Structure formats: structure tokens, C-alpha cells
Amino acid sequence: MRVGVLTGGGDCPGLNAVIRAVTKSLIRQGGCEVLGIQDGFEGLMGDAPRVKPLSWDEVSGILHIGGTILGTSNSANPLKNAETLAQVKRNVHTLGLDVVVSIGGDGTQSLAYGLANAVGMQCVGVPKTIDNDIANCERSFGFDTAVATATEALRRIESTANSHHRVMIVETMGRNAGWLALEAGVAGAADIILLPEIDYDLQTIIDVCKAREQRQRYTIICIGEGAKESGQSLTVRERVEHSPDPLRLGGVGHVLRERLQPHLKSEVRATVLGHVQRGGDPTPFDRVLATQFGHHAAQLVLSGQFGRMVTLQNGAIGSVEIATVANTQRQIAADHPLLTMARDIGICLGQP
Ligand SMILES: Nc1ncnc2c1ncn2[C@@H]1O[C@H](COP(=O)(O)OP(=O)(O)O)[C@@H](O)[C@H]1O
Ligand SMILES: O=P(O)(O)OC[C@H]1O[C@](O)(COP(=O)(O)O)[C@@H](O)[C@@H]1O
Ligand SMILES: [Mg+2]
């Protein structure tokens, strides 16, 4: 078999671990020829494909390294028109690919699903995201690393907040899902956690900060980039018009700072964690999970189970139809036990 491997969407710690595991399994168990497609679906677009052979040696020594040796794209749109679809179809044919392992998030899986339908390109999906927002997958690699980085940042912010008696806002990534803000907020002992799933009431936050001004004299707020005040709109950093998912979020921490400051005696400062959450080497947990995902993707390929995405459900590695994942997002349910726990121990979630 000749198998293509690509990484799509935002990069994420653990991608190289998946590339390594899937390639080694395919070579060792199936005697496959593996081709790395460069820069996500972009490598299958244009007049000629851009690929590099993935040999055993090529994927050795990359387990622990962040990012992706294949490069990635979070704006390529092969579904754009008949011309781009024809390019992909021709390039897949020229390369003689039997199947493409698409390692990526909701967007990449949506594209994989769309291409299977439009040009018959066979795909096996592997979920990746620091946002942990892929449907039917309780945990993707990259998330644990991002939580660890954001938690470390919150700890560092706390000592300076305490010294200056400030209200410190820490903004995490996560798009429209609050998993990263919630788990980092809990692990980093945030006093207030604001999530995209729960619109916040400004007065409630002011009240909590004022009460803490009297007692602890500092407050830590952890806010997910997709959070918003009740009645207000999302904070959009940038619009990428040609992308199917054009809104790039960011900056809500600063918006909240401006709203809060006039009401408080303490100084309010905001820190946007940004891409430090996506960069760097994966944690041991993510290295193991990514290796399991890569191995399982190879089993799906070798057994001809195309159109499926590897997943983790109830602690077990398995797979689901890519169709059930495309064009959906996994958000925190209103009755999630972590939310109940947070409220019960006195963490403010922005609601009265
Ligand atoms: N609903 C969608 N349908 C089709 N393509 C999408 C969709 N959402 C995003 N994309 C495209 O998928 C690619 C990766 O999306 P992105 O959300 O950045 O990464 P991820 O794969 O990590 O979710 C980008 O080229 C993006 O334009
Ligand atoms: O690097 P960019 O284009 O600013 O994208 C930032 C976005 O990518 C992420 O880091 C990861 O999202 P994806 O997993 O969907 O790629 C989001 O948390 C964030 O909103
Ligand atoms: Mg996405």
C-alpha cells in the first residue's frame, strides 16, 4: 500500500509522535510505502503535489519534538472550487495514494470528509487539538501539554498578582470551547474562570474582585478566548476571508480589563498566553496518547477501515466515522461535573 500522511490546522505538541508511530507501524506491520504530504492539504493542491518519503530513519528521533516535521496549514481550502478539487484528485492519483492519514482537528476532519465525498480520496483521521473540542473524542494529544503550560503561567502570574495586589487576567486559547481555560483554571487555582459556554455577568465579576480586595487583595481570572459578556459579541482578532472558518479569536482578556478597571481600586492587568500554549515538547501523557493514536490509525489503514477517525472514549482507543466528527465541535455541557465541582468549591464562573 502507498499511504499519505498529513498534518492540518494549528500545530500541536504530539504531532511528530503520531507521524512516527503511524509510519513505523505501517512500515513494520504492513510493508507500506509512506509519503509525508507537506503543509496539510496545501501539499495536495497546486499543479504538483509536495511530498517527502517517510522512511524509518526519517521518523526516528522526533517523538519528543513539538510542532510537525511535515508543516501544516490552517487556511488551505481544497473544497473551494472545481479547480482545487481537480488538483487534489489529480495529485492523489499521480502519487498513487491508496489512503491519506489526516492528522488534524475539526477543520481538517471536515476537509477529509468533504474530499472523500467530492473526489473519492480515502482517509483515516487522527484527532489533534490543544482545544480538546473534537466531537466523540474525550481527549486529544496536545491538550495535556497546553494545560500544563497554561497552569504554569497561572502559577507565575499568581506570585506577581499577590505582590502588587492586582487583578490579573490570563487569557487562554480554545476557540469556542472552554476545556483549556477550565482545566488550567482549576489546576492553576484561578478565582474566576470564564468560558465560551457560559456568558459572563460583569457585575458578578466586579463583586468577586471587590470582595477579594478586602480579604486576599488579589484576584486571578482565567478566561478562554471565546468567552463573552452577556449581550456582547465575540472578540475577534482577525478575519481570514478565504478560510471556511474565518474568525480568529483573541484579545478578550484586554476587553475584560477595560470593562473592569473603572469599577475597582486594584490595578487590572491582562496577559494573553497565545502560541506558547501550542509550542514546545509534548508531555509524557501526550507522547503516549499520540503514539497510541498513530498506531491505531495504522491498524485502520491496514484493515481497510477507511472513512474512520481514531478516538478515545471511556478511556479506550477506538474509532468513529469521520462523518460524525465533521462540522461539529465538542463544548462543555452545562451539567459537566467539573463545572459543578468548580462552583461547589467557590470558583466564580461569571454567573450570579
Ligand atoms: N467546517 C469546515 N469545513 C471545511 N473546512 C474547514 C472547516 N473548518 C475549518 N476548515 C479548514 O480546515 C483547515 C484546518 O482548520 P483549523 O480549524 O484551522 O484546524 P483544525 O484541523 O485543527 O481544526 C483549514 O484549512 C480550515 O480553513
Ligand atoms: O495560530 P492561529 O491562526 O492564530 O490560530 C489560533 C487558534 O488555533 C488554536 O490554537 C488551535 O485550534 P485548532 O486545533 O482548531 O487548530 C486555537 O486555540 C486558537 O484559537
Ligand atoms: Mg479547528
Ligand 1 atom nearest 41 alpha carbon: 25
State whether the Cα torsion 234-81-135-286 is positive or negative.
negative
Rounded distance from Cα 12 to ligand 2 centre (Å):
9
- pLDDT of 37 reads 98
Rounded distance from Cα 140 to ligand 2 centre (Å):
14
CA pair distance 283, 274, nearest whole angstrom: 18
Pocket of ligand 1 (CB under 6 A): 8-10, 73-77, 104-108, 110-111, 114, 129, 243-245, 327
C-alpha separations of 222 from 38, 158, 248, 277 in Å: 36, 11, 19, 14
pLDDT (tens, 9 = 90+) of the chain, 352 residues, equals 999 999 999 999 999 999 999 999 999 999 999 999 999 999 999 999 999 999 999 999 999 999 999 999 988 999 999 999 999 999 999 999 999 999 999 899 999 999 999 999 999 999 999 999 999 999 999 999 999 999 999 999 999 999 999 999 999 999 999 999 999 999 999 999 999 999 999 999 999 999 999 999 999 999 999 999 999 999 999 998 877 778 999 999 999 999 999 999 999 999 999 999 999 999 999 999 999 999 999 999 999 999 999 999 999 999 999 999 988 899 999 999 999 999 999 999 999 9
Annotated binding-site residue? 67: no
DSSP 236-277: EEEE-TTSSS-EEE--HHHHHHHHHGGG-SS-EEEEE-GGGG
Annotated binding-site residue? 188: no
Annotated binding-site residue? 155: no
Q: Assess whether 131 carries a catalytic annotation.
A: yes
- pLDDT of 129 reads 96
CA pair distance 118, 285, nearest whole angstrom: 37
CA pair distance 71, 88, nearest whole angstrom: 18
For the CA atoms of 227, 280, 8, 298, what is the dihedral angle to 10 degrees? -120
3-state helix, strand, coil in the chain (%, to 5): 40, 20, 40
C-alpha separations of 120 from 98, 106, 320 in Å: 11, 20, 19
The two domains 2-130+284-313 and 147-276+333-344 share their CATH topology (first three levels equal): yes
Q: Whose CA is nearest to atom 13 of ligand 2?
A: 10
Instruction: For residue range 291-343, list pLDDT tens digits in order.
Output: 999 999 999 999 999 999 999 999 999 999 999 998 889 999 999 999 999 99
Rounded distance from Cα 246 to ligand 1 centre (Å):
9
Annotated binding-site residue? 133: no
C-alpha cell at 119: 473526489
Residues 206/173, Cβ–Cβ less than 8 Å: no
Ligand 2 atom nearest 106 alpha carbon: 15
CATH architecture of 2-130+284-313: 3-Layer(aba) Sandwich (3.40)
Could you give the ipTM of this predicted complex?
A: 0.92
State whether the Cα torsion 39-44-47-48 is positive or negative.
positive
State whether the Cα torsion 111-195-249-269 is positive or negative.
negative
C-alpha separations of 188 from 63, 118, 148, 221 in Å: 28, 45, 9, 10
Mutate to test the pocket of ligand 2, among 7, 108, 141, 173 (most ligand atoms within 8 A of CB): 173
Q: Which residues surround ligand 3, an ion (CB under 5 A)?
A: 105-107
Annotated binding-site residue? 57: no
Query: Where in the chain are the domains?
Result: 2-130+284-313, 147-276+333-344
Query: Whose atoms come closest to the Cα of 245: which ligand?
Result: 1
Q: Whose CA is nearest to atom 16 of ligand 2?
A: 10
**Identity at 32, one-letter amino acid code:** C
Instruction: For residue range 245-257, list pLDDT tens digits in order.
Output: 789 999 999 999 9
CA pair distance 228, 259, nearest whole angstrom: 12
| pTM as predicted | 0.96
Pocket of ligand 2 (CB under 6 A): 9-10, 74, 105, 107, 129-131, 173-175, 225, 248-249, 278
CATH architecture of 147-276+333-344: 3-Layer(aba) Sandwich (3.40)
Ligand 2 atom nearest 107 alpha carbon: 15
